[in-house]
Amino acid sequence: MVFSPTLTSLVLALFPLASVNALRTKRTLCPDGVNTAVNPACCALFPVVQDLADNLFENECGDSAHGALRLVFHDAIGISPTLGGGGADGSIVIFNQTELENPANLGIDDILSTLSPFLFKHLDTLSAGDFVQLAGAVSLVQCPGAPRIPFFSGRAPPVAAAPTGLVPQPFDSVASILQRFGEVGFSPEEVVAVVGGSHSVAGADDIVPNMQGIPFDQTPSVFDTQIFVDVQLRGTLFTGEGGQQGEVETAVAGTVRLQSDSLLARDSSTSCAWQSFANNQSGIETAFGQAVLKLSLLGQVQSQLTDCSEVIPAAIAFTGGPATLPPGLTMNDIEQACPTAPFPTLSTQPGPATSVPPIPQADDDS
């Protein structure tokens, strides 16, 4: 019988992370008597994953999951060929007193206060660097439409705080953002995928005066491409909290836009990449998944780590429809920036415009 492409893609869809070898390898029962693993060295991580999913994220793509994803970035990007730093090493948690003084880490204190108790509880099982990346990978599978990314274990404990100046800020220019990411090996397309994709499941606690959990797009609990549409709509600048110029009030009531996202959507070096993800669910899932994996390995040597991807639960499939324009808007409200291709044609949501509700905060329900 011919091994048809359909069957091949079915197998790949069912086991996206399994290598051919892993498919051939037997799973053995872990000491907990419940889970099975191809690599017994990964067994100890199952209870950590369960604890995170049930008790930190509460099986939701909410504030804690968003925070864990943001932490992946703020820890990992702390490395530079000239200034040093350990990258994805957990330094942001262990050396929090130093790293939280960095203004680019505004808001990370709230994330750490929710997440760190779990890290310290499990520090005899995995390092701080592993924990931050594991939590990020588990956070993604709380969000419908987000990719399940591989997880590698074995990062050494951090030795020092990351130098300041390495985390991009929302009022940085596109050139400076691309330069910073470029130093650690990210192409402009990868930057657009990782920044835009992550901000699909995100919001601001420290930008809009006196308001928390203000979403960046209409659907902060779903990893979709609506962010690439909402950010391309025309908007008006306002002065954010702390007097920082350049945040944008959008045509979508209840949402806010970072100047950096707005510029990535409009700058000639990134606008076509930005537009390429609008209404391109499978494209963003793949490109974002690869870019987050790359972040998770900054400062690390993949061949010296253990592939424990098997402990990451299945992704939640995207069941939403195409990206849409908010009620009352038309394609004329899209601020077309890419000069070489038109923005994908979208339909308008029916009904009167409603305001997007804030994201409930992790500490609200305690």
Ligand X SMILES: *[C@@H]1O[C@H](CO)[C@@H](O)[C@H](O)[C@H]1NC(C)=O
Q: Which residues line the annotated binding site for Ca(2+)? A: 75, 87, 89, 91, 200, 217, 219, 224
Shorter beta-carbon distance to ligand HEM: residue 22 or 272: 272
Question: Taking the CA of residue 137 as centre, how many other CA atoms within 13 Å lie in the half-sphere pointing to its CB?
Answer: 30
**Beta-carbon contacts of residue 219 (< 8 Å; ≥ 6 apart):** 200, 226, 320
* Dist. CA 290–CA 288, nearest whole Å: 5
- Pick the piece of the chain touching ligand HEM (CB under 6 A) from 32-40, 156-164, 167-175, 322-330: 167-175
- Pick the piece of the chain touching ligand HEM (CB under 6 A) from 16-24, 53-61, 194-202, 306-314: 194-202
Residue 161 binds ligand X (CB under 6 A): no
Residue 158 binds ligand HEM (CB under 6 A): no
Shortest reach from residue 137's CB to ligand HEM, in Å:
11
> How far, in Å, are 68, 97, 296, 309 from residue 88 at the CA level?
13, 18, 6, 17
Find residue 307's DSSP bridge partners: 152
Contact 118, 55 (CB under 8 A): yes
Count of residues interacting with ligand X (CB under 6 A): 11
Residue 138 binds ligand HEM (CB under 6 A): no
**Beta-carbon contacts of residue 24 (< 8 Å; ≥ 6 apart):** none
> How far, in Å, are 212, 215, 235, 328 from residue 255 at the CA level?
11, 5, 11, 16
CA angle 295, 227, 57 (to 5 degrees): 60
Tell me which residues in 59-118 interact with ligand X (CB under 6 A): 93-94, 96, 112-113, 116
The entry of ligand HEM, ligand X, none near residue 48 (CB within 5 to 8 angstroms by kind) is none
Buried/exposed code over 219-245 (b: 16+ C-beta within 10 A; e: otherwise): bbbbbbbbbbbbbbbebeeeebeeebe
Q: Which of 287, 291, 293, 359 touches ligand X (CB under 6 A)?
A: 287
Tokens of 170: 């929302």
Shortest reach from residue 207's CB to ligand X, in Å:
22
Residues with active-site annotation: 74
Shorter beta-carbon distance to ligand HEM: residue 7 or 175: 175
The entry of ligand HEM, ligand X, none near residue 192 (CB within 5 to 8 angstroms by kind) is none
Shortest reach from residue 276's CB to ligand X, in Å:
4
Tell me which residues in 169-188 interact with ligand HEM (CB under 6 A): 169-170, 177
Residue 143 binds ligand HEM (CB under 6 A): no
Shortest reach from residue 237's CB to ligand HEM, in Å:
15
Shorter beta-carbon distance to ligand HEM: residue 115 or 161: 115
Q: DSSP label at 125? A: T
Q: Which residues make up the interface to ligand X (CB under 6 A)?
A: 93-94, 96, 112-113, 116, 276, 280, 283, 286-287
